[in-house]
Amino acid sequence: MKSLYCFLILLAAAASGNAQEFTKQMTTARTAYSSGKLEEARFAMQQMMQELDIISGKELIGLLPAKLDTMSANTSADAVSGTSGFAGVVVHREYGKAKPDGDVPAQVEIITNSPLISGLNAMLSLPLLGNSPDQKVIKISGYKALVTKQHSDGETPEFEVQLPLNSTLITLKAPGYSQEKIIALANTLPIAEIAKRVQ
């Protein structure tokens, strides 16, 4: 519990830094624009966009549950990274203790504001794709999602759930979980709240 508080305090401090940077770049953009330095104004806006994406990413991490099934969040592995406007910002959280080979029992990844994801989402929404024997279209908290059987390791198949929301993609991976169990896990994620924030 103590470590969770520490994490939240650190998160708030980091967000405050980003907020200051956003305000600073806003002033730069305004000054540059009013003096006709359009390219400088544009650059400052790009910086603001980046800050905004990082702030939203951190906010999304704060929305994710502290526990998934019986697994606690490994907050030290939390990450918000990427480039806004191209590949998108990746929000990453792991659950449970990592195995010696580095595998993580469960992880949630949210890629936001990626134009590439928009294309992927369009494909995911095609009903034909859901007809593959390794894929199935399901609903998580009322939103359409795709559960996919990954490469089988021996006799244990692995599943992942992908849920597209416009230019955002939420992915849940839990290698040790069956199809039904991973769907149940995905249903514990605050999808509606995430959707509200990313739209």
Partner 1 sequence: MQLPKRAGCTALMFLLVGFAHAQPKFLKKAANAANNAINNAVNTAVNGNSNNNNTGNDAQQAGQNSSSTRSGRPSNRGGQGLVSTPPDVAANLTASEDAFKKSSYGEARYALQQAMLGVELQIGHGILKMLPEQIAGMPKEAEADQVTSTGWGWAGLTIRREYQKDDKAMDVTIANNSVMLNALNMYLASGMYNQSTGGQQNWKQTKLKNNKAVIEYSDGSGYKLSVPLGQTTLLLLEGVNFATEQEFMNAANTIDVDKIKELLNEK
Q: Site for partner 1 (CB under 8 A): which residue of 75, 113, 121, 162? A: 113
Question: What CA–CA distance (Å, rounded) separates 31 from 157?
Answer: 57
The smaller minimum CB distance to partner 1, of residues 181 and 196, is found at 196
Residues 6+ apart with CB under 8 A from 60: 91, 110, 112, 194, 197, 198
Among 7, 11, 22, 62, binds partner 1 (CB under 8 A): 22
**Terminal alpha carbon distance of the chain:** 31
91 near partner 1 (CB under 8 A): no
CB 103, min distance to partner 1, A: 32
The CA-CA-CA angle for residues 158, 59, 53, to 5°, reads 90
In order, the DSSP letters of 43-90 are HHHHHHHHHHHHHHHHHHHHHS-SEETTEEB-GGG-EEEEETTTTEEE
- When asked if residue 71 is in the footprint of partner 1 (CB under 8 A), the reply is no
* Residue 143 contacts partner 1 per CB under 8 A: no
Q: How far is the CB of 59 from partner 1 (least distance, A)?
A: 7
Question: Pick from 2, 5, 13, 39: which binds partner 1 (CB under 8 A)?
Answer: 39
Q: Applying CB under 8 A, which of residues 62, 85, 130, 190 lies at the interface with partner 1?
A: 85
Which of the ranges 22-30, 90-98, 123-131, 175-183 carries the binding residues for partner 1, by CB under 8 A? Answer: 22-30
Q: Which of 11, 14, 26, 79 binds partner 1 (CB under 8 A)?
A: 26
In the complex, the smallest distance separating the C-beta of residue 167 from partner 1, rounded to whole angstroms, is: 9
Half-sphere exposure (Cβ direction) of 156: Cα atoms closer than 13 Å: 7
| 63 contacts: CB under 8 Å, gap ≥ 6 | 190, 193, 194, 197
Compute and round to an integer the Cα radius of gyration of the chain.
19
Q: Which of 40, 69, 109, 158 binds partner 1 (CB under 8 A)?
A: 40
Q: Is residue 190 part of the contact set for partner 1 (CB under 8 A)?
A: no
CB neighbourhood size of 127 (10 A): 8
- Per CB under 8 A, residues contacting partner 1 are 19, 22, 26, 29-30, 33-34, 38-43, 45-46, 48-49, 52-53, 55-56, 59, 83-86, 113, 115, 197-199
